[in-house]
Amino acid sequence: MLSYPAESKPAWLRLIGLTLAASVLVGGLCGLLYQRELAGIERRLGDREEARVGQLAFQLQRDLEPAADDLQILAQGAGLQAYLVSGLAADRERVLRGATYFSQRREDYYRIGFLDEHGREVLRVDQGGRVDGQLGDRSGDPGFGPALALGPGEIHVARFALEQGGAGPGPALVRFSTPVFDAAGRRRGVYYIDYLGDNVLARLVGSAPQLAHRLRLLDAGGHWLKAGDPAHEWGAQRPERAGYALARTDPALWQQLLREPQGRVRREGGLFSWQRVALLEPRRGGPARRVAEDSFLFVASQVSAEELARLSAGLRQIFLVVTPGLLLLAGGCVWFVDARRRFERALRRSEESLAVTLQSIGDAVLATDVAGRITRMNAVAEQLTGWRLDEARGRPIAEVFRIIHEETRTAAPIPVDAVLATGQIKGLANHTALIARDGRERPIADSAAPIRARDGRVLGVVLVFRDVTAERDAERALRTSEARYRTLFESIDEGFCVIELIFDDAGRPVDYRFLEVNPSFEKQSGLTGAVGRRMREFAPNLEAHWFEAFGRIALTGEPARFQNRAEPLGRIYDVYGFRFGDPARRQVAILFSDITRSKEAEERIVRLNTDLRVRAQELEAANKELESFSYSVSHDLRAPLRHVQGYVELLTREAQGQLSDKARRFLQTITDASREMGVLIDHLLEFSRMSRATLREEVVDLDAVVREVRAGLELALRDRPVEWRCPPLPRVRGDPVMLRQVYTNLVGNAVKYTRPRTPAVIEVGHAGTEQGRLVLFVRDNGVGFDMRHAEKLFGVFQRLHRADEFEGSGIGLANVQRIVTRHGGRVWAEARPGEGATFSFTLAPAESGPPAPAT
Partner 1 sequence: MKTGHILLVDDSPRDIEMALEAFAHHRVGNPIVTLRDGVEALDYLYRRGDYAGRPDEAPVVVLLDLKMPRLDGLGVLRQVKGDPKLRTIPVVVMTSSREESDVVGSYRLGVNAYVVKPLDFQQFVAAMQVLGTFWGVLNETSRGPAQPPP
With contacts defined by CB under 8 A, name the span among 128-136, 420-428, 437-445, 672-680 that binds partner 1.
672-680
Cα dist from 509 to 165, 555, 585, 698, whole Å: 112, 10, 13, 62
Q: Which member of 315, 641, 670, 680 binds partner 1 (CB under 8 A)? A: 641
Q: Which is nearer to partner 1, 624 or 642 (CB)?
A: 642
- Which residue type occupies 442? R
CA distance 597 to 459: 75
One character per residue 61-80, x = contact with partner 1 (rule: CB under 8 A): --------------------
Q: Which member of 525, 674, 817, 842 binds partner 1 (CB under 8 A)? A: 674
**Nearest distance in Å: CB 653, partner 1:** 8
With contacts defined by CB under 8 A, name the span among 77-85, 93-101, 638-646, 710-718 that binds partner 1.
638-646
Residues 287-316 that bind partner 1 (CB under 8 A): none
Q: Which member of 47, 649, 672, 835 binds partner 1 (CB under 8 A)? A: 649
User: Is residue 595 a contact partner of residue 570, using CB atoms and an 8 Å limit?
Assistant: no
**Nearest distance in Å: CB 621, partner 1:** 19
Q: Which residues of 441-468 are buried (b: 16+ CB within 10 A; e: fewer)?
A: ebbbbbebebbeeeeeeeebbbbbbbbb
Judged on CB neighbours under 10 Å (0-12, 13-18, 19+), 802 is exposed
Judged on CB neighbours under 10 Å (0-12, 13-18, 19+), 116 is middle
**Nearest distance in Å: CB 812, partner 1:** 19
User: Three-state DSSP class for 559?
Assistant: coil
**Nearest distance in Å: CB 683, partner 1:** 12
Cα dist from 165 to 127, 162, 171, 190, 240, whole Å: 17, 9, 10, 20, 17
Q: Which is nearer to partner 1, 639 or 716 (CB)?
A: 639
With contacts defined by CB under 8 A, name the span among 475-483, 525-533, 639-647, 802-810 that binds partner 1.
639-647
**Nearest distance in Å: CB 797, partner 1:** 20
Q: Which is nearer to partner 1, 103 or 674 (CB)?
A: 674
Q: Which candidate, 235, 231, 230, places its Cα nearest to that of 212?
A: 230
**Nearest distance in Å: CB 815, partner 1:** 17
Q: Is 646 in the site for partner 1 (CB under 8 A)?
A: yes
One character per residue 580-619, x = contact with partner 1 (rule: CB under 8 A): ----------------------------------------
Q: Which is nearer to partner 1, 383 or 645 (CB)?
A: 645
CA distance 319 to 62: 45
Residues found in the chain: 855
Q: Which member of 310, 316, 523, 643 binds partner 1 (CB under 8 A)? A: 643
Residues 680-719 that bind partner 1 (CB under 8 A): 682, 685
User: Three-state DSSP class for 271?
Assistant: strand
Q: Is 647 in the site for partner 1 (CB under 8 A)?
A: yes
User: Is residue 644 a contact partner of residue 674, using CB atoms and an 8 Å limit?
Assistant: yes
Cis peptide before 845 (omega within 30 of 0): no
User: Three-state DSSP class for 273?
Assistant: strand
Q: Is 678 in the site for partner 1 (CB under 8 A)?
A: yes
Q: Which is nearer to partner 1, 177 or 630 (CB)?
A: 630
With contacts defined by CB under 8 A, name the span among 132-140, 636-644, 730-738, 774-782 that binds partner 1.
636-644
**Nearest distance in Å: CB 631, partner 1:** 6
CA distance 62 to 329: 58
Q: Is 797 in the site for partner 1 (CB under 8 A)?
A: no
**Nearest distance in Å: CB 777, partner 1:** 32
With contacts defined by CB under 8 A, name the span among 5-13, 326-334, 374-382, 673-681 that binds partner 1.
673-681
Chain-centre distance of CA 182, in angstroms?
Answer: 117
DSSP symbol at 407? T
Q: Which candidate, 521, 582, 517, 589, places its Cα nearest to that of 553?
A: 589
With contacts defined by CB under 8 A, name the span among 145-153, 178-186, 644-652, 817-825 that binds partner 1.
644-652
**Nearest distance in Å: CB 625, partner 1:** 16
Q: Is 659 in the site for partner 1 (CB under 8 A)?
A: no
Q: Is 638 in the site for partner 1 (CB under 8 A)?
A: yes
**Nearest distance in Å: CB 640, partner 1:** 9
- Which residue type occupies 263? G
User: Is residue 204 a contact partner of residue 225, using CB atoms and an 8 Å limit?
Assistant: no
With contacts defined by CB under 8 A, name the span among 163-171, 197-205, 360-368, 643-651 that binds partner 1.
643-651
User: Is residue 134 a contact partner of residue 120, using CB atoms and an 8 Å limit?
Assistant: no
User: Is residue 493 a contact partner of residue 520, using CB atoms and an 8 Å limit?
Assistant: yes
| Long-range contacts of residues 394-397, Cβ cutoff 8 Å, at least 24 apart | 396/372, 397/366, 397/368, 397/372, 397/373, 397/463
One character per residue 616-635, x = contact with partner 1 (rule: CB under 8 A): ---------------x--xx
Q: Is 639 in the site for partner 1 (CB under 8 A)?
A: yes
Site residue total, partner 1 (CB under 8 A): 20
Q: Is 648 in the site for partner 1 (CB under 8 A)?
A: yes
Q: Which is nearer to partner 1, 250 or 682 (CB)?
A: 682
Judged on CB neighbours under 10 Å (0-12, 13-18, 19+), 285 is exposed
Beta-carbon count within 10 A of 482 CB = 12
User: Three-state DSSP class for 767?
Assistant: strand
With contacts defined by CB under 8 A, name the span among 101-109, 234-242, 510-518, 646-654 that binds partner 1.
646-654
With contacts defined by CB under 8 A, name the span among 39-47, 176-184, 585-593, 674-682 that binds partner 1.
674-682
CA distance 98 to 76: 11
Chain-centre distance of CA 735, in angstroms?
Answer: 79
- Which residue type occupies 124? R
For 449-513, where are the alpha helices, taking DSSP H only? 469-491
**Nearest distance in Å: CB 650, partner 1:** 6
What would the DSSP string read from start to end of 164-221?
A: EETTEEEEEEEEEEEEEE-TTS-EEEEEEEEEEHHHHHHHHHHHSGGGGGGEEEEETT
**Nearest distance in Å: CB 635, partner 1:** 5
Q: Which candidate, 824, 813, 791, places its Cα nearest to that of 687?
A: 813
Q: Is 655 in the site for partner 1 (CB under 8 A)?
A: no
Q: Which candidate, 718, 701, 735, 754, places its Cα nearest to that of 818?
A: 735
**Nearest distance in Å: CB 641, partner 1:** 6
**Nearest distance in Å: CB 626, partner 1:** 13
Q: Which is nearer to partner 1, 418 or 648 (CB)?
A: 648
Q: Which member of 304, 312, 564, 645 binds partner 1 (CB under 8 A)? A: 645
**Nearest distance in Å: CB 678, partner 1:** 4
Q: Is 650 in the site for partner 1 (CB under 8 A)?
A: yes
Quote the crossing angle between the two packed helices 661-692 and 812-822, to the nearest 10°: 0
Question: E-assigned strands of 322-440?
Answer: 364-369, 374-377, 402-405, 426-427, 432-435
Q: Is 242 in the site for partner 1 (CB under 8 A)?
A: no
**Nearest distance in Å: CB 686, partner 1:** 10
**Nearest distance in Å: CB 643, partner 1:** 5
**Nearest distance in Å: CB 549, partner 1:** 59
CA distance 181 to 247: 40
Residues near partner 1 (CB under 8 A): 631, 634-636, 638-639, 641-643, 645-650, 674-675, 678, 682, 685
